[in-house]
Amino acid sequence: MNNVKRHQFILKKLTDGEYISVSELCDSLSVSSVTIRKDLQFLENSGLLYRTHGGATLQNPYQRDRPVFEKEKIHAKEKERIAQKAAQLIEENDSIIIASGTTMQYLAKEIIPKGRLTVVTSALNVSQQLLKHSDVDIIQLGGSIRHSSNSVTGQFAEETLHNFFCSKLFLGVDGIDEEFGLTTTNAQEAQLNRKMIAAAQKVIVLADSSKFGRKSFGKIVDFCKIDVIITDYIPKKYAKLFESLQIEIIIS
């Protein structure tokens, strides 16, 4: 099979599925991994696909930072259903941490307090949403405000977290990659998220299915640090990985 036919075969395979591995292409085309990697490099340079670790995809695996008002409109129905499932995990007289992100804003809308709820959050839009509940005690972390996420980051917020330990952290992410773990677009936010994880008994990740197979600039943690993931759909390879790590999967 010549170069053109191999390239057509690769693009057809990617049109049929979200991802294809180098090893799979080697077996299908009976060529070496060196040949396949050259093919993928050529197709990526031509703007026809994106190379990933060990394969290729048609979807850009790298997340960029976008304003919160733009992100909240993307996958809105999925985020709403995920938030509804997450809100059901909040117990009577609970103390929780809510991180930043548009899915966290959806979560705040779904919360109906049982008893007296204490919420520690870095997100201004989460605090604003919870102000309507007189039986919610809100601890707003301080620091430098990120305009794109409507939330705070920095040393002051990190040091404040040392004074708290909560039953649950609800965490939003920008990317979930099987090699790189959980990521967000901002390194300072990733650092604050790690401090939140240290201050929580259980870490619950809220992520719509578009986050799988993608990565952003700032690594938060490896998967071994999380306890639950709530999503609308999970690819099989991630389901197997999470099950092997005893991470609970909740489908909204």
DSSP codes, the chain: --HHHHHHHHHHHHHHSSEEEHHHHHHHHT--HHHHHHHHHHHHHTTS-EEETTEEESS--B-----HHHHTTTTHHHHHHHHHHHHTTPPTT-EEEE-SSHHHHHHHHH---SS-EEEEESBHHHHHHHTT-TTEEEEE--SEEETTTTEEESHHHHHHHTT--EEEEEEE-SEEETTTEEEES-HHHHHHHHHHHHTEEEEEEE--GGGBT-B-SEEEE-GGG-SEEEES---HHHHHHHHHTT-EEEE-
Secondary structure in 3-state letters for 200-249: EEEEEEECCHHHECCECCEEEECHHHCCEEEECCCCHHHHHHHHHCCCEE
Which value, in Å, is the radius of gyration of the alpha carbons in the chain? 20
Q: How far apart are CA 58 and CA 96, in angstroms?
A: 38
What integer pLDDT is reported at residue 203 of this predicted model?
98
Which residue in 239, 161, 145, 153 sits closest to 199, CA to CA?
Answer: 161
- 162 within 8 A of 92, measured Cβ to Cβ: no
Which residue in 232, 177, 183, 235 sits closest to 208, CA to CA?
Answer: 232
What integer pLDDT is reported at residue 70 of this predicted model?
60
Q: How far apart are CA 161 and CA 155, in angstroms?
A: 10
What integer pLDDT is reported at residue 65 of this predicted model?
57
pLDDT tens for the chain, 252 residues long, are: 788 999 999 988 888 777 888 999 999 999 999 999 999 999 988 888 888 778 888 777 676 655 666 666 678 999 999 999 999 999 999 999 999 999 999 999 999 999 999 999 999 999 999 999 999 999 999 998 988 788 999 999 999 999 999 999 999 999 999 889 999 988 999 999 999 999 999 999 999 998 998 888 899 999 999 999 999 999 999 999 999 999 999 999
Q: How far apart are CA 139 and CA 118, in angstroms?
A: 8
Q: How far apart are CA 162 and CA 181, in angstroms?
A: 24
What integer pLDDT is reported at residue 95 of this predicted model?
98
What integer pLDDT is reported at residue 157 of this predicted model?
95
pTM reported for the whole predicted model: 0.76
How is residue 9 written in tokens?
A: 């075969």
Walk me through the domains of the chain, giving residue ranges and CATH numbers: 3-57 (1.10.10.10), 68-251 (3.40.50.1360)
Q: How far apart are CA 114 and CA 244, in angstroms?
A: 34
What integer pLDDT is reported at residue 165 of this predicted model?
96
Burial call 85-96: b when 16+ CB within 10 Å, e when fewer: bbbebbeeebbb
